[in-house]
């Protein structure tokens, strides 16, 4: 059976090409399941994969998309039955194995995670890796003693998917959230979602050689990297914690050891891909319950045909919130399905 997908490959001249095309479902391998994908979502990592970035797209051709939620239509294992809803979560999905920007996926059964709580498929896709990463960041701050009484916490790149969810979660925890953004027109939107203060991007872009800055933050969530992370660490209060999960601002970290050895600042690195299944389930249960997020005005839905332009938009920093990809399967009824492989 042929199905539609966004495929990244190389032309005869070696140029990276990203375009809609067709894939074919192979015979189901033992230990695998076939998932009819209902929804995916766009992450910055997907935009890098779509551009053929070798650190993300580990093989070509590749279907990007690290988020996918759908329905089991074939299963070779007892754990998963036809008709069950699941999300796909694994480090290789959308990076070295075909990902979620397709109508179907065939993945090892252990890559599947049940939908948490009462969250619907579209809700899980809308939150996706962005909400999960934000939850990891906030969890790290809590584990390192940052509380509502500790002082203000700052979030960089606050209008992005991870950023806006971090703003919401930290606000739910009663913290004084300062949102940093390069989009001043989104200030009221950020306040609506829990920010007490909104500052410009330059507030986290100190270019001086000073190893330490005035101590402002009890903690922070950094989605940008580069000098933004350096500034945040140098301005963090003693025993504070900064959770770092992004590199849109650069992979280099211009900093000395002084924030760590003079103030005891903790830099918590966040990796959302290689997470044990039990830990992933724990955080998703929180997101389905006590940490439930509001996505109503954060999500825009598109069809598969619109993906190439939206991936360019996220690379250019033109997107706020989350973009969900409706693969056109969401209205199918769950249940037994015969797959025609001709």
Residue 330 has pLDDT above 70, yes or no: no
Cα–chain center distance at 32 = 25
CATH fold of 2-117+298-326 reads Quinone Oxidoreductase; Chain A, domain 1 (3.90.180)
Report the percentage of the chain scoring pLDDT > 90: 91
Rounded-to-10 torsion of CA 326, 96, 225, 126: 20
pLDDT, position 76: 97
In this prediction, residue 184 has a pLDDT band, given cuts at 50, 70 and 90, of very high
Residue 337: pLDDT over 80: no
61-112 pLDDT, tens digit per residue, is 999 999 999 999 999 999 999 999 999 999 999 999 999 999 999 999 999 9
Q: Which CATH architecture group holds 129-269?
A: 3-Layer(aba) Sandwich (3.40)
In 3D space, the residue among 36, 191, 164 whose CA is nearest the CA of residue 100 turns out to be 36
Where do the domains of the chain lie?
Answer: 2-117+298-326, 129-269
CA distance 107 to 208: 49
* Confidence category of residue 320, pLDDT binned at 50, 70, 90: confident
What confidence tier does 332 reach under pLDDT thresholds 50, 70, 90? very low
Q: Given a cut of 90, is residue 339 above it in pLDDT?
A: no
Q: How much is the pLDDT for 336?
A: 44
Q: What is the pLDDT of residue 341?
A: 53
Question: How confident is the model over 250-279, as pLDDT tens digits?
Answer: 999 999 999 999 999 999 999 999 999 899
| pLDDT(215) > 50 | yes
Q: Strand pairing of 322-326 and 32-41? A: antiparallel
Mean pLDDT to the nearest integer, 24-32: 95
Asked whether this chain's domains 2-117+298-326 and 129-269 adopt the same fold, the reply is no
């Amino acid at each position: 059976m042929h199905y539609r997908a966004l495929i990244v490959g190389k032309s005869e001249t070696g140029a990276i090409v990203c375009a809609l095309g067709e894939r074919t479902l192979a015979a189901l391998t033992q230990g695998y399941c076939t998932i009819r994908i209902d929804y995916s979502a766009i992450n910055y990592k997907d935009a890098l994969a779509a551009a053929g970035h070798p650190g993300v797209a580990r093989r070509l051709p590749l279907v990007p998309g690290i988020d996918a939620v759908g329905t089991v239509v074939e299963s070779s294992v007892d754990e998963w039955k036809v008709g069950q809803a699941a999300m796909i979560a694994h480090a290789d999905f959308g990076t070295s194995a075909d990902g979620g920007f397709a109508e179907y996926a065939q993945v090892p059964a252990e890559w599947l995670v049940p939908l948490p709580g009462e969250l619907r498929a579209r809700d899980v896709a809308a939150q996706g890796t962005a909400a999960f990463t934000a939850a990891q960041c906030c969890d790290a701050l809590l584990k390192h003693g940052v509380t509502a009484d500790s002082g203000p916490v700052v979030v960089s790149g606050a209008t992005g998917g991870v950023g806006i969810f971090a703003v919401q979660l930290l606000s739910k925890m009663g913290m004084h959230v300062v949102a940093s953004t390069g989009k001043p027109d989104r200030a009221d939107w950020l306040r609506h979602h829990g920010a007490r203060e909104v500052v410009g991007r330059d507030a986290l872009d100190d270019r001086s050689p000073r190893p330490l800055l005035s101590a402002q933050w009890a903690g922070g969530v950094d989605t940008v990297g580069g000098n933004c992370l350096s500034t945040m660490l140098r301005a963090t209060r003693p025993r504070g914690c900064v959770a770092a999960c992004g590199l849109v601002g650069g992979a280099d970290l211009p900093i000395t050891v002084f924030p760590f050895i003079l103030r005891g600042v903790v830099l918590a690195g966040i990796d959302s891909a290689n997470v044990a299944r039990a830990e992933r389930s724990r955080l998703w249960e929180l997101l389905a319950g006590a940490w439930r997020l509001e996505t109503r005005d954060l999500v825009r839905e598109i069809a598969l045909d619109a993906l190439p332009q939206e991936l360019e938009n996220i690379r250019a920093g033109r997107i706020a919130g989350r973009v969900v990809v409706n693969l056109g399967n969401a209205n199918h009824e769950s249940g037994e399905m015969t797959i025609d492989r001709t």
